[in-house]
Amino acid sequence: MRSFTLGVLCLGLSVASSTWAQSCLPTATVTSNTGSQQTSKDTTLGCVVRNLYGVNGLVLPNPNHSAHFTNESQANLTPLNAALGTQLTLLPLVSPASGYTFTLDPATNVYTRSSQSFGPILGERAETIGRGKVFFGFTFQHYSFDKIDNFDVHNFPVVFGHGPFGGPGFDFEFEKDAITSNNNIDLKINQSTIFATVGITNRLDVSVAIPIVNASVTATSTASIFRVAAADVNGVGADPTTGQFHYFDQANPNGSTTKTFVNSSSASGIGDVIIRAKGTLWKNDKTGVALGMDFRMPTGDERNFLGSGAAGFKPFFVASTRWGKASPHLNIGYQWNGDSVLAGDIDKNTKASLPDQFFWTLGADVGVHSRVTLAFDVLGQRTMDAPRLVQGTFTTPAGALKPATTFTEIVKATESFDIINGSAGVKVNLGKNLLATFNGLFRMNNGGLRDNFSPLFGLSYTF
């Protein structure tokens, strides 16, 4: 018989049957195990939830009956991996455009500042840095994810039904039992980014962004046996003393219907490096239009959630102007993504294509003081034909102890959906060409894997 198994959720949550691929089998170690709680440590973040109940899944301790549970939501949980992979490709980096832009005065052959504003934080403006100018910066961003398609990642249900012995239908009353679980996935990502921009010509600059990522995940599941069948002392496979088929603690078969499982891991390393080229197509004293191109290299370890695991290509259009102290800007682009195990099956090492995105940014930066600029943006992404989660139900059959009972569960859908964030921040001149940046990114809708609020801090200098 097969044992009750749960696998990689959101950060690896997917549920598999009794035969596991080898990639996650050796990664988890159980550090303590009692009748009420099991705690594990994992060496691979992508396997944390797959190994939440142990590398062999949740094996109930009845020596006479191996718990024959399957997860009918298996296909509905796998989109969480794709959601995470997609989110990793969408985490917005601070704009590598310099806070200072310069224009050559042909009369004096001297470069002068072309804007009194220090520019946007997460958006782009059409102006380039200026030939021979160099810009260096550092930012720190913190993400603590709260939502996945309007489900609370700190409290969402998974229901497991019992697999029949002889095929469809129920040959025995105890096959009507189920296991319900409340799950909490605590995923945090700290992203420190070093970036630089070099002015190749007065209309073209090239940038590179190198993120250093620290990721951690703790998965907690409180599983409860929902007994539909009555105890059967004479039943084949039942405990000979109590007649119970399903329990967590062999020392207390009648009462041990709930157990908490915990698994955790963390990892640090380089993320996905991004190379950008931006060229101004047309400009006058106030208004400019530019085209840009981002190339994302899959340098981060996707199995530890340090990168997306897929190459990316993003052309984009930029328009910006100046109205007194305010400088509005508009960015529009499209990102093509390659294949990643985060969109496929991280345990079986099979890849699938991460969804493409159409994105836009609309905002403005305002030079409220010679040393202070306020920046506001609305950032939107339309994610194309992506797996996502919607609410469904699981109903147990009527049994000797309980009538038919309906539980909430999650159901897979393939849809296009929108991710919309707001951004508000400030840039402060600390002296000469040194800028400090403070920003907050906040969720404005429920699509995808999301953080309610993400703070950002940065320092930059232009030579």
DSSP code per residue over 176-212: G-EEEEEEEEEEEEEEEEEEEEEESSSSEEEEEEEEE
Q: Could you tell me the two tokens for 279?
A: 């060229």
* pLDDT (0 to 100) of residue 205: 93
User: Is there a domain that residue 3 lies in?
Assistant: no
Q: Is the pLDDT at 78 greater than 60, yes or no?
A: no
At 24, the pLDDT band (50, 70, 90 cuts) reads confident
User: Is there a domain that residue 23 lies in?
Assistant: no
At 6, the pLDDT band (50, 70, 90 cuts) reads very low
At 293, the pLDDT band (50, 70, 90 cuts) reads very high
* pLDDT (0 to 100) of residue 25: 77
Mean pLDDT (the chain, rounded) = 84
**Alpha carbons 332 and 327: distance in angstroms, whole number:** 17
448 or 460, which is more confident: 460
In eight-state DSSP terms, residue 300 is S
Residue type, 6: L
Task: Strands of 74-155 (E only): list them.
Answer: 102-105, 110-113, 134-144, 147-148, 151-152
User: Is there a domain that residue 4 lies in?
Assistant: no
* pLDDT (0 to 100) of residue 50: 79
What is the mean pLDDT of the segment spanning 144-160? 89
Q: Is the pLDDT at 232 greater than 70, yes or no?
A: yes
253 lies in which domain range?
A: 28-462
Q: What percent of the chain has pLDDT over 70?
A: 83
User: Is there a domain that residue 7 lies in?
Assistant: no
Cβ pair 212, 292 in contact under 8 A: no
Q: Is the pLDDT at 18 greater than 50, yes or no?
A: no
* pLDDT (0 to 100) of residue 458: 94
Q: Is the pLDDT at 233 greater than 70, yes or no?
A: no
* pLDDT (0 to 100) of residue 166: 54
What is the mean pLDDT of the segment spanning 126-137? 90
* pLDDT (0 to 100) of residue 3: 33
Closest CA to 320 of 363, 359, 358: 363
Q: Is the pLDDT at 96 greater than 80, yes or no?
A: no
65 or 401, which is more confident: 401
Element (H, E) at 460: strand 453-462
Total of domains in the chain: 1
Q: Is the pLDDT at 209 greater than 90, yes or no?
A: yes
**Alpha carbons 265 and 14: distance in angstroms, whole number:** 17
- Assign residue 101 the CATH number of its domain: 2.40.160.40
Query: CA of 149: how far to CAs of 152, 221, 414, 450, in Å?
Result: 8, 20, 12, 8
- Give the model confidence (pLDDT) of 246-264 as tens digits: 899 988 888 889 999 999 9
User: Is there a domain that residue 71 lies in?
Assistant: yes
User: Is there a domain that residue 103 lies in?
Assistant: yes
Q: Which of 17-21, 30-34, 337-341, 400-404 has the lowest mean pLDDT?
A: 17-21
User: Is there a domain that residue 423 lies in?
Assistant: yes
Q: Which of 108-117, 283-292, 307-316 has the lowest mean pLDDT?
A: 108-117
At 218, the pLDDT band (50, 70, 90 cuts) reads very high
Highest mean pLDDT among 47-51, 106-110, 309-313: 309-313
CA atoms within 13 A on the CB side of 346: 36
User: Is there a domain that residue 406 lies in?
Assistant: yes
Closest CA to 381 of 434, 326, 450: 450
- Give the model confidence (pLDDT) of 54-74 as tens digits: 777 777 888 877 666 765 444
- Give the model confidence (pLDDT) of 349-395 as tens digits: 888 888 899 999 999 999 999 899 999 999 999 999 888 888 889 89
